[in-house]
Amino acid sequence: MPDLIEHDEQPAVSSREEAAASELARNAVAASVAPPDRMALAAEVVSSRAGGRSPSQILRLKLRRNRTAMVGLYTLAAMYAAAILAGFIAPYRYDNVRHDLPFYPPMLTRIHIFDEQGHLSRPFVYGLVPVDPQLASYRDDTSKKYPIRFFVSGDSYRILWLVRSNTHLFGVDEPGHVFLFGSNQLGGDIFSRILYGAQISLSIGIIGILISTILGMIVGGVAGYFGGVTDFALMRSVEVLLALPSLYFILILRQLFGAAMSSTQIYFIIVVILSFIGWATEARVIRGMVMSLKEQEYVIAARAMGFSNSRIIIRHILPNTLSFVIVTATLSVPFFILGEVALSFLGVGIQEPEASWGNMLIAARSNRQLIDFPWVLTPGVFIFVAVMAWNFLGDGLRDAADPRTLS
C-alpha cells in the first residue's frame, strides 16, 4: 500500500519482493484450486473438525473463532450503522451553530440525575451561561433545568437520501442545548458533527476501495494474462506509482482541480484521486495470481473452447482471486480513511461547514485551542478506532484465508 498506512506488502523494486508476491499468490491459488493431494489433506482436516463444509463456510468459521477480528467487525458494524442513522442520532445538524457558545466543554459528565435537593429525577442538564465569551468560560445556570427527552423534533434530515424526518433520538427543549462532546470554535455540536463526519470519512473508505479494486483487477488481470510488453509497461507504471511518496502525488493531483468547488465535487475528487493511487497494490498482487492461474487446466480448456480473452479473464480467472482480493481490500481501507483525514486536515479536502473527521481536527492546529479545549481532538479517537477495527478485521481475514492454517 502506498504510504499513509503500512502493511506487510510493500512497494517492490527488487526481485526479492517479486518472489514474495508470487509466494503470496501461490498460497492464495492453493486455497482456491488446491492440487488433489493437498485438497485431500485439507478435506480430511476440515471434515474431522467441521464436518464437510464449503470453503466460504470454513472461512466464516475461522473468522468467527478469531476474537480480535470479530471485535473489529462489530465495531465497524456499529460505526457504519451510526453513520447511516447520523441525522436521527445526532441532536443537531452539522451546520447548526450557537455562535454565543463556542468551545463549550463536554456535557457527557454534566448530565445530572439528582436535583439540588438530592432527589432522584429524570436526567437533565442545566442551562448554559457564558461567563466571559472571550475566554469561552461558562457556568451552569442552576435555575434552569432542561430534562433530556427522547424522540424530540428538531432540525430536519434525511437518511440515505430517502427518509425525511425531524425526529431525533434525544435532545433538550430550546433554549437549552446539549453538547455531549462539547462544542467547537463556532458553537457547533462536536457529537453531531462526528456523526455527520462519519458519513464522509467512513464512506470514502468503501467507495475508494471499490474503485481501486476494480481498477486493480482490470490492470492486474490484463497484465498477468497477456504478459509480454503489456505486462512490462503496466508493471513499470505500477512501480513508479508505488515508489513515490503518495501523499505528495495526491497533493499535486489535487492541484489539478481548483479550490472553488462544491463539497460534493471535492468529495468525489478526493475519492478518485485516492483510488488512482491506491489501485497499484491490488494490481501487483492480482497480476501475480493471474500469472499462475492462467496455466491451470480449466483456463486452457476455456481457451480451447474458443471463449474470448475478456470472458476468460472476467468469468474464469478473476473470481478465483476473490478471497485474496477481499483480504487486500480490507487491509487497504485505512489508506482511504487516513488519506481523507490528511487532505482535509491540510485544508485541501472537505471544507466547512461540511463536517469530516479530518477537517474537524483543524480546530486543534492552534496550540492555544488545543491546550484550553482539548475536546476538539475527539474526532481523532474515532479515526483511530475505525482504522484499528479495519486492521483487526483485515488481519483476521488474512489468517482465515491462509490455507496453511487449517485448524
Could you list the residues that contact other proteins (CB under 8 A)? 2-8, 10-14, 16-17, 240, 242-248, 251-253, 255-258, 334, 338, 341-342, 345-346, 348, 358, 361, 364-365, 367, 370-371, 374, 377, 380-381, 383-384, 387-388, 391-392
CB of 257 to other proteins, least distance (A): 8
Pairwise CA distance, residues 313 & 222, whole Å? 8
Pairwise CA distance, residues 357 & 362, whole Å? 9
Q: Which amino acid is at 79?
A: M
Q: Return the number of the residue (43 or 381) whose C-beta is nearest other proteins.
A: 381
CB of 392 to other proteins, least distance (A): 7
Q: Return the number of the residue (138 or 257) whose C-beta is nearest other proteins.
A: 257
Q: Return the number of the residue (101 or 387) whose C-beta is nearest other proteins.
A: 387
CB of 376 to other proteins, least distance (A): 9
CB of 361 to other proteins, least distance (A): 6
Q: Which residues pair with 147 in a beta bridge?
A: 124
Report whether 145 contacts 124 (CB < 8 A): yes
Q: Return the number of the residue (51 or 258) whose C-beta is nearest other proteins.
A: 258
| Buried/exposed 124-161: b ≥16 CB within 10 Å, e otherwise | bbbbbeeeeeeebebeeeeeebbebeeeeebbebeeee
Q: Return the number of the residue (312 or 331) whose C-beta is nearest other proteins.
A: 331
Phi, psi of 10, deg, nearest 5: -125, 155
Burial class (CB in 10 A: 0-12, 13-18, 19+), 301: exposed
Q: Return the number of the residue (163 or 243) whose C-beta is nearest other proteins.
A: 243
Pairwise CA distance, residues 71 & 79, whole Å? 12
CB of 360 to other proteins, least distance (A): 11
Q: Return the number of the residue (42 or 244) whose C-beta is nearest other proteins.
A: 244
Pairwise CA distance, residues 94 & 219, whole Å? 40
CB of 378 to other proteins, least distance (A): 10
Q: Return the number of the residue (253 or 314) whose C-beta is nearest other proteins.
A: 253
Pairwise CA distance, residues 258 & 222, whole Å? 34
Report whether 130 contacts 101 (CB < 8 A): yes
CB of 388 to other proteins, least distance (A): 4
CB of 71 to other proteins, least distance (A): 11
CB of 25 to other proteins, least distance (A): 18
CB count within 10 Å of CB 305 equals 8
Closest CA to 404 of 1, 2, 30, 25: 30
Pairwise CA distance, residues 146 & 171, whole Å? 9
Q: Return the number of the residue (32 or 330) whose C-beta is nearest other proteins.
A: 330
Helix (H) or strand (E) holding 232, with range, is helix 228-243
Task: Give the three-state DSSP class for 95.
Answer: coil
Q: Which residues pair with 299 in a beta bridge?
A: none
Closest CA to 92 of 189, 185, 161: 189
- Under DSSP, the state recorded for 85 is T
CB of 324 to other proteins, least distance (A): 18
Q: Return the number of the residue (226 or 276) whose C-beta is nearest other proteins.
A: 276
CB count within 10 Å of CB 95 equals 15
Report whether 90 contacts 82 (CB < 8 A): no
Q: Return the number of the residue (141 or 372) whose C-beta is nearest other proteins.
A: 372
